[in-house]
Amino acid sequence: MILNRYLTKEVFLSFGATLLVLALIVVGNTFVRLLASASSGNLPVDLLGSLLLFGSIKNLIRLVPVALLIGMMLAFSRLYRDSEMTALRASGVAPRHFYRAIFTLVIPLSLVLGVMVLYAAPRLEIHNQELRREVQQRPEAAGIPAGEFVSAGRNNNSYTILAEHIDPTQTTMERFFIRVRDGKNEILIWARSAILFIDSVNAERFLQILDGYRYENDPVRGGLSIIRFGEHGIRIPLRSFTGGSDIESVDTLDLLRTPTPESLAELQWRFSIVLSAPVLAFLAFPLSYTAPRQGRYSRIALGILIYGLYANLLATARGMIEKGDLPLWLGMWWIHLALIALGFWLLRRYYGKPV
């Protein structure tokens, strides 16, 4: 029991430190990317915190398995460096004793990860997509900040927009001006207000301009024609904010009820994220074996390489299942079995026999 607690503590501390470092990297990278979008006018500033929260949680869930692999390898590499592993093996401590400590941590961690991936992640994705749809319907998503001239296009095909004020709901632009140049035609529109919306039928973005004047060159009569209108619509290309796949927001039980290739691929992908934690934990112990005079971090690069190959194989298999190029019964399971087989081979090579 003393040995079990000691090994579990070592693995937990290394895993926690690794996950914290990876979390800081992910959150920092997500924040910088979103901040760049906000500064360029693609993203409303008031939604920055919510998008950062949802994006960071989503990415952090997927980092748990690799953090477990690296953390365990760091913990066991330290035991090899300080000759504690040599003393333990000389005292008759077998690999099964290490695995007992490992899975004391991994089993509850996998259960928590399963709840997050199968239940919480789809709901987080729903909220994330709702925020992104709101972003697309905001004037800021068109690159129209309040009180600033915004121009797009070039030469004879361009437009310039000014919204003096945007109301607190961030949907209505007040005292709105737009100049559109299309070939030789030039149109000026000034209106009391304008509303940006997305057409639910064809998904195109429109400006609904209310109570204004339209000034346009008259090529027939010459001069300038002035038209007063109560409501006027104009289609305008807006900057898009890329969202995730809709299948990611589907509940796990709903995926089971709709056995399409896309649903089954997503279902296997979610189970693979959960299974990757115990699979990588099983591999980490023999993979961290360090010979005398070998550096502590000599195997970390190999572990990261194996994880990269593992993750890429899973992603490739997911795409092949969606296209129907891979049988559903084979799916992604063979990749997990291949990694487990590698773990058994390393155990036999370094310790003379399996667990």
- Percentage of the chain lying above the pLDDT 70 cut: 80
Long-range CB contacts (within 8 A, 24+) of 143-152? 143/40, 143/41, 143/42, 143/238, 143/239, 144/41, 144/173, 144/196, 145/41, 146/173, 150/41, 152/237
**Least confidently predicted of 104-118, 154-168, 298-312, 327-341:** 154-168
Per-residue model confidence as pLDDT tens digits over 211-227? 888 888 766 666 778 88
Residue-wise pLDDT tens digits, 94-137? 788 888 888 999 999 999 999 999 998 888 888 877 777 666 55
φ, ψ of residue 43 in degrees (nearest 5): -140, 130
- What is the dihedral sign for C-alpha 248, 250, 256, 262? negative
Cβ-Cβ contacts under 8 Å for 96 (sequence gap 6 or more): 355
Q: What pTM did the predictor assign?
A: 0.69
Cα–Cα nearest to 70, from 233, 283, 254, 220? 283
Sequence-distant (6+) residues with CB within 8 A of 89 are none
Helix or strand run (H / E) with residue 176: strand 172-182
Residue 306 in this model has a pLDDT that exceeds 60: yes
